[in-house]
Amino acid sequence: MIFSKRKRFLYSLIIVILPCMIPAGCGKSPLSGTLSGSTVEPVYSVISSSASGTPDSLSASDSTGSTSVSDSSEVSVSVSSDSTVQTASSEIPETDKAVPAPTVRPALEAEQVEDPELSYDFSLGFAGDINFADDYIPMGYLAAVGSEDISDGIDQEYIDIMKGMDLMWINNEFTYSDRGEPLPGKAFTFRSSPSHVSYLSDLGVDIVGLANNHSYDYGEVSLLDTLDTLKKAGIPYVGAGRNIEEAASPVYLETNGFTIAYVAASCAEQYIYTPEATESAPGILLCVDDTRILKSIRTAAENADYVIVLPHWGTEQSTWLQDKQRDSARAYIDAGADAVIGAHPHILQGIEYYNGKPILYSLGNFWFDNYDIDTIVAELHFSGTTMRDDPSLEGTTPELIVYPGTQTGSHTYIAASESWEDRILRYIETISQYGIQIDENRVVHEISG
Write the secondary structure of 171-183 as one string of H (helix), E (strand) and C (coil): EECCEECCCCCCC
Tell me the pLDDT tens digit for each residue of 117-130. Answer: 889 999 999 999 99
Q: Stretch 219-247: mean pLDDT, rounded? A: 98
Confidence check: pLDDT of 296 > 60: yes
Confidence check: pLDDT of 248 > 80: yes
Confidence check: pLDDT of 66 > 70: no
Confidence check: pLDDT of 92 > 90: no
Average pLDDT, the chain: 83
What distance separates the 2 farthest-apart alpha carbons in the chain? Answer: 113
Confidence check: pLDDT of 90 > 50: no
Would you state the pLDDT for residue 395? 81
Tell me the pLDDT tens digit for each residue of 211-221. Answer: 999 999 999 99
- pLDDT above 70: percentage of residues in the chain: 75
- In this structure, what DSSP letter does residue 286 have? B
- In this structure, what DSSP letter does residue 415 have? -
Pick the more confident residue, 26 or 152.
Answer: 152
Confidence check: pLDDT of 289 > 80: yes
Confidence check: pLDDT of 293 > 50: yes
Domain boundaries, the chain: 5-88, 117-446
Would you state the pLDDT for residue 164? 98
Tell me the pLDDT tens digit for each residue of 18-43. Answer: 445 544 444 444 334 433 344 444 43
Would you state the pLDDT for residue 239? 98
Confidence check: pLDDT of 133 > 60: yes
Angle at 231 between CA 223 and CA 143, to 5 degrees: 70
For 262, the 3-state DSSP assignment is strand
Distance in angstroms (rounded) separating the CA atoms of residues 196 and 132: 7
Pick the more confident residue, 86 or 431.
Answer: 431
Superfamily of domain 117-446: Metallo-dependent phosphatases (3.60.21.10)
Confidence check: pLDDT of 78 > 80: no
Rg (CA), the chain: 38
Confidence check: pLDDT of 72 > 80: no
CB count, 10 Å around CB of 447? 12
Would you state the pLDDT for residue 114? 73
Where would I find the H helices in 197-273?
198-202, 220-233, 244-248
Tell me the pLDDT tens digit for each residue of 182-193. Answer: 999 999 999 999
Distance in angstroms (rounded) separating the CA atoms of residues 237 and 229: 11
Distance in angstroms (rounded) separating the CA atoms of residues 408 and 371: 6
Residue partners of 218: CB distance under 8 A and separation at least 6: 175, 177, 179, 180, 181, 182, 183, 189, 191
Confidence check: pLDDT of 86 > 50: no
Q: Stretch 95-120: mean pLDDT, rounded? A: 62
- What's the whole-model pTM score? 0.76
Tell me the pLDDT tens digit for each residue of 377-391. Answer: 999 999 999 988 888
pLDDT class of 411 with cuts at 50, 70, 90: very high
Let me know if 338 is exposed, middle or buried by CB neighbors in 10 A (0-12, 13-18, 19+).
buried
- In this structure, what DSSP letter does residue 97 have? P
Distance in angstroms (rounded) separating the CA atoms of residues 64 and 169: 77
- pLDDT above 90: percentage of residues in the chain: 70
Q: Which of 163-177, 244-258, 314-328, 389-403 has the lowest mean pLDDT?
A: 389-403
